[in-house]
């Protein structure tokens, strides 16, 4: 995807939600940088399946707003900022949210 495509990419959410979606993306990036989206042990920020609780809450919110299309859009933005490994961790952390399949 070139720069032109990036600027004019159709966004999978209502335009009035731009600031909120950007805030959620920033929050996911902070979670990934500080804690990761997966853990070897449950407890604290991680549920019984060792997935980050807040990252999953954000995934549920994204699913409600725009379904899988919005979740894929956000994952792509997170991948650009954090890299492939952490993006894969986030994809797995979102397992069993709506129709999401990592």
Using CA atoms, how far residue 51 sits from 17, 22, 48, 54, 57, in Å, is: 26, 22, 7, 9, 11
* Domains of the chain by residue range: 16-93
Contact (CB, 8 A) for 36 and 29: no
Kindly give, in sequence order, each residue whose CB lies less than 8 Å from that of residue 56, ignoring residues fewer than 6 positions away. 47, 93, 94, 97
Q: In tens digits, what is the pLDDT along the chain, a chain of 102 residues? A: 555 555 667 889 988 999 999 999 999 999 999 999 999 999 999 999 999 999 999 999 999 999 999 999 999 999 999 999 999 999 999 999 999 998
Task: Tell me what pLDDT residue 9 has.
Answer: 72
């Amino acid at each position: 995807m070139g720069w032109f495509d990036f600027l004019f990419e159709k966004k999978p959410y209502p335009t009035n939600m731009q600031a909120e979606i950007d805030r959620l993306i920033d929050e996911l990036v902070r979670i990934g940088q500080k804690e990761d989206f997966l853990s070897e042990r449950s407890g604290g920020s991680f549920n019984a399946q060792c997935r980050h609780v807040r990252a999953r809450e954000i995934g549920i919110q994204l699913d409600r707003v725009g379904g899988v299309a919005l979740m894929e859009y956000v994952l792509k933005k997170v991948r650009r900022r954090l890299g492939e490994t952490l993006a894969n961790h986030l994809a797995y952390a979102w397992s069993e949210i709506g129709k999401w399949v990592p």
